[in-house]
Structure 1
Amino acid sequence: MVTAPKQSDEAALVLFSGGQDSATCLAWALARFGRVETLGFDYGQRHAVELDCRAALRSGLAVLDPLWDSRLGPDHTLPLQALHAISDTALTRDAEIMMNENGLPNTFVPGRNLLFLTFAGALAARRGIRHIVTGVCETDYSGYPDCRDDTIKALQVALNLGMESRYVLHTPLMWRDKAETWALAEKLGGLPAVELINRESHTCYLGDRGTLHDWGYGCGTCPACQLRKTGWETYMAKKAPNA
């Protein structure tokens, strides 16, 4: 049974990659806003298979609740191949995942979230949307500086100044770890939402969709898989006493 949080007749645009976090954010937005559109980016990412997961997640969430179905609006995909061309990272090249000398993981794509949110603002202006939802998180901190709360707050100010708008950037996962993100999905859409996101979303940096684990598909060894695995196991452990 879907929870009924405070709702708004306004529209929202969800940055929707096809991953666990963005799928949970989509459920969060569908529970709150009168119309919800989604936006994905094709930037030549190594795990581009995530884009193929988006349709099943959208349709799967829509059937969980008739209200969500009525609220789900169009999906948009924007090509950002220039980001791939100027990036030299383990997410845009066939490279071993490791830490850089500057202390950041080489899976960090410089400017990625800044560009994503800027393009989201431009699309939102055309679509008449004020609310923009993104799944960035500072709790399970990957070392990505463009996921920090301060970064998002600063970007909201810049977008509003530069576009003469009143955008609100929502980050429902900012202070939640992966276990709490699974719990939020359950709170929003029940166990069917958890099962859908577990099976249909994609996290693995290497793009592995051939190996199914308890926590979903992935190689099981990359940092993204390890984070998702740990979060799932913690979530399930917290549920065990109530089973």
Structure 2
Amino acid sequence: MSALTNAARDPRTALVLFSGGQDSTTCLAWALERFQRVETLGFDYGQRHHIEMDCRLTVREELRAAFPHWAARLGEDHVLDLSLIGQISDTALTTEREIELQANGLPNTFVPGRNLLFLGFAATLAYRRGASVLVGGMCETDYSGYPDCRDNTMKALQVALSLGLDTAMTLETPLMFLTKAQTWDLAEQLGGQTLVELIVEHTHTCYLGERGARHPWGHGCGHCPACELRRSGHAAWLADA
């Protein structure tokens, strides 16, 4: 487990895009270890299930209880209603439909414009809250090919947001070039087995919103792309341990 001293910690305030899933929880822990103050932001965008939204507050409280040295730096939580995304999207994450590849090669779980809108609104909130760092779990290594998760997209957005707000806005994506196995490893580095178990028990990533079965890697249907990625990453991480 890592532990920065107060002198080494970044004095800025960070706003973490926090869904309640594995990746955003790992990013939240990463931010709490690095920044003097951390707030969280969730989006209700008309997703087909609200399981992650229900998990968000539980994960925050579990983090507070398990890691007292982070608790004092964990600030307010915010939720924005972006249901207009669901109104203009026809995807497997916003409607009840089978998950499949589209003609353009992208899975139909891709919600066009989602991260572009998320980061725009996040930057607006950060500006009002005095935060200058946005932290997101975007990744272009083990992911489904979403163009709004790519590093070049994030770099372009950082420039655009900083120019549009006339203030420096930093976009941090600590998982960008990590495999899912490496994401599990990062969680262990940040918070040991306590954080790993917290992620297994309390976070949720399943596209279908199934919460019943508890697998070694967490809750979920076990066969959707999100569950398969989480399961295979967990197995690879254990194999390398």
Q: Which of the residues 223, 226, 236 maps onto 2:225?
A: 223
2:4 is aligned with 1:4: yes
In 2, the alpha carbon distance for the partners of 1:54 and 1:14 equals 12
Q: Deviations over 1:90-119 (max 9, x none)?
A: 000000000000111000000000000000
Q: Deviations over 1:26-49 (max 9, x none)?
A: 000000011100000001111321
* CA apart distance, 1:163: 1.1
Q: Which of the residues 50, 73, 76 maps onto 2:75?
A: 73
In 1, the alpha carbon distance for the partners of 2:143 and 2:219 equals 22
Residue in structure 2 matched with residue 119 of structure 1 by the alignment:
121
In 2, the alpha carbon distance for the partners of 1:127 and 1:166 equals 14
Mapping 1:38-187, distance limit 5 Å:
38-187=40-189
TM-score (structure 2 length as normaliser): 0.97
CA RMSD of aligned residues (A): 1.0
Residue in structure 2 matched with residue 34 of structure 1 by the alignment:
36
* CA apart distance, 1:2: 4.5
In 1, the alpha carbon distance for the partners of 2:205 and 2:118 equals 18
User: Residue type of the partner of 1:207?
Assistant: G
In 1, the alpha carbon distance for the partners of 2:52 and 2:143 equals 21
Identical aligned pairs, as a percentage? 62
In 2, the alpha carbon distance for the partners of 1:201 and 1:3 equals 23
Q: Which runs of 5+ in 1 are unaligned?
A: none
2:190 is aligned with 1:188: yes
In 1, the alpha carbon distance for the partners of 2:65 and 2:223 equals 33
CA contact (8 A) 1:2 1:190 kept: no
CA contact (8 A) 1:64 1:189 kept: no
Q: Which runs of 5+ in 2 are unaligned?
A: none
Give the total of aligned pairs: 239
Tell which deviates more after alignment, 107-116 or 157-166: 157-166
